[in-house]
């Protein structure tokens, strides 16, 4: 073979190699054994089942929680989704058995229906209803979805104003709300097919897009806290994702929400680190890698690729890279590391950088299970 033919052969081989490598880079169906989403998901759900109820995500609370808190809800519903899509009847049964005492000896742990972080609890019994068709789950779940829109007599005047304007009386314009509100309302729609639930969730979402989404697609923690906190933006990302995968095409707000979602995903792609992660403050290269927000973004992108909202090559590569790195943050005890502690808002850059990094906090366990669910259903 002469030198010209050798050179041509090298070029052809390089093109083939690059092409194959590119395909592998955005493949969301095949992973190395230690990164297999079905295997990872089982480990994380089993860990949740073996762990007592947390106190706002803290896996080792100083005392027994007085009620189920939202990080448990997020992990529980993710476990149910994962068990269903992987047809793991044993996990499903165990997750239901974990819930049953809340109808009996632990009924006092049902959260009060008086706060956005409490009402999201209804998403779990609604998912149990969808999987078991037991009416007691539907009744309990809808009581949380309905009271999120019906203000109590003792509500504050400003809360009444939100209600009178068609919004949830629990509206706060805080970034977390757009999962807490969306999750339970979407679940209520899935369980009943009553459009009022998903329509009002979309109406609420548009309000938050108007008030706290910035021109780059990212979100402030709340109007006075002008920082792009990682997990806070994760709540918005998964809130839009859950809404978009459920909202009927003829909903007048769907196109606006989809546009906002795509704008956010584009900016997140640009801020992804070389290692596949996102940071505690998304736009601060000096901030530390944070797992809960990174996992939420990954889940949102996986779902976007699956549903055709995002380009599969472009965003599949981002999601795959993120997942492969995220699994390295799971320790030998099946605990996700580098999870930002529960965080209030503050207009102070250093405040966010100084937040504690917790091991095994359910704020991080939950979105990793969501990712395992989404990849297992791809």
Q: What is the pLDDT along the chain (378 residues), one digit of tens a residue?
A: 554 454 444 444 444 444 444 568 999 999 999 999 999 999 999 999 999 999 999 988 888 999 999 999 999 999 999 999 999 999 999 999 999 999 999 999 999 999 999 999 999 999 999 999 999 999 999 999 999 999 999 999 999 999 999 999 999 999 999 999 999 999 999 999 999 999 999 999 999 999 999 999 999 999 999 999 999 999 999 999 999 999 999 999 999 999 999 999 999 999 999 999 999 999 999 999 999 999 999 999 999 999 999 999 999 999 999 999 999 999 999 999 999 999 999 999 999 999 999 999 999 999 999 999 999 999
Please tell me the number of Cα atoms within 13 Å of 37 on its side-chain side. 29
Write down the pLDDT at residue 20: 44
Pick from 113, 126, 131: nearest CA to 189: 126
86 touches 376 (CB < 8 A): yes
91 touches 79 (CB < 8 A): yes
CA separation for the pair 193, 220 (Å, rounded): 33
Write down the pLDDT at residue 101: 98
Residue 279 main-chain phi, psi, to 5 deg:
-105, 165
Write down the pLDDT at residue 108: 97
290 to 16, 57, 129, 236, 319: CA distances (angstroms): 36, 15, 34, 16, 15
- Angle at CA 273, nearest 5°, toward 272 and 274? 125
Whole-prediction pTM: 0.94
CA separation for the pair 203, 129 (Å, rounded): 26
170 touches 156 (CB < 8 A): no
247 touches 372 (CB < 8 A): no
According to the 3-state scheme, what is the secondary structure of the chain? CCHHHHHHHHHHHHHHHHHHHHHHHCCCCCCCHHHCHHHHHHHHHHHHHCCCCCECCECCCCCCCCCCCHHHHHHHHHHHHHHHHCCCHHHHHHHHHHHHHHHCCCHHHCCCCCCHHHHHHHHHHHHHHHHHCCHHHHHHHHHHHHHCCCCCCCCCHHHHHHHHCCCCCCCCCCCCHHHHHHHHHHHHHHHHCCHHHHHHHHHHHHHHHHHHECCCCCECCECCECCCEHHHHHHHHHHHHHHHCCCCCCCCCHHHHHHHHHHHHHHHHHHCCCCCCCECECCCCCCCECHHHHHHHHHHHHHHHHCCCCCHHHHHHHHHHHHHHHHHHECCCCCECCEECCCCCCCCHHHHHCCCEECCCHHHHHHHHHHHHHHHCC
Instruction: For the chain, give every domain's residue range.
Output: 53-376
CA separation for the pair 82, 369 (Å, rounded): 7
Cα torsion 104, 108, 112, 117: sign? negative
CA separation for the pair 41, 27 (Å, rounded): 19
Write down the pLDDT at residue 168: 98
CA separation for the pair 315, 2 (Å, rounded): 42
Residue 81 main-chain phi, psi, to 5 deg:
-60, -45
Domain 53-376, CATH number (from 1.50.10.10, 3.90.550.10, 3.40.50.300, 2.40.50.100) = 1.50.10.10
107 touches 92 (CB < 8 A): no
């Amino acid at each position: 073979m002469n030198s010209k033919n050798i050179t041509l052969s090298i070029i052809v081989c390089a093109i083939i190699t690059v092409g194959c490598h590119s395909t592998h880079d955005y493949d969301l169906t095949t992973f190395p054994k230690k990164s297999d989403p079905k295997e990872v998901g089982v480990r994380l759900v089993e860990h949740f089942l073996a762990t007592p109820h947390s106190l706002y995500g803290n896996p080792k609370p100083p005392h027994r929680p007085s009620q189920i808190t939202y990080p448990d809800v997020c992990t529980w519903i993710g476990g149910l989704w994962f068990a269903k899509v992987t047809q793991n009847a044993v996990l499903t049964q165990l997750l239901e058995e974990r819930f049953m005492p809340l109808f009996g000896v632990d009924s006092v742990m049902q959260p009060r229906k008086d706060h956005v972080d409490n009402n999201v609890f209804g998403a779990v019994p609604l998912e149990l209803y969808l999987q078991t068709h037991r009416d007691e789950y539907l009744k309990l779940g809808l009581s949380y979805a309905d009271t999120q829109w019906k203000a109590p007599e003792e509500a504050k005047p400003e809360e009444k104003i939100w209600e009178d304007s068609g919004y949830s009386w629990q509206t706060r314009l805080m970034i977390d709300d757009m999962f807490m509100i969306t999750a339970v309302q979407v679940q209520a729609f899935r369980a009943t097919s009553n459009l009022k639930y998903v329509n009002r969730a979309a109406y609420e979402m548009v309000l938050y897009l108007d008030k706290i989404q910035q021109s780059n697609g990212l979100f402030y923690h709340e109007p006075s806290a002008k920082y792009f906190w990682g997990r806070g933006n994760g709540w918005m990302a998964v809130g839009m994702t859950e809404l978009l995968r459920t909202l009927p095409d003829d909903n007048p707000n769907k196109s606006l929400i989809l546009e906002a979602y795509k704008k956010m995903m584009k900016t997140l792609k640009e801020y992804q680190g070389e290692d596949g992660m996102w940071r505690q403050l998304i736009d601060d290269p000096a901030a530390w890698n944070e797992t809960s927000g990174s996992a939420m973004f990954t889940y949102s992108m996986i779902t976007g690729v699956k549903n055709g909202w995002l380009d599969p090559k472009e965003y599949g590569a981002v999601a795959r890279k993120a997942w492969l790195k995220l699994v390295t943050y799971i320790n030998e005890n099946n605990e996700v590391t580098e999870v930002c502690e529960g965080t209030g808002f503050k207009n102070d850059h250093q405040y966010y950088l100084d937040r504690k990094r917790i091991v095994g906090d359910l704020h991080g366990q939950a979105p990793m299970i969501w990712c395992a669910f989404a990849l297992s259903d791809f």
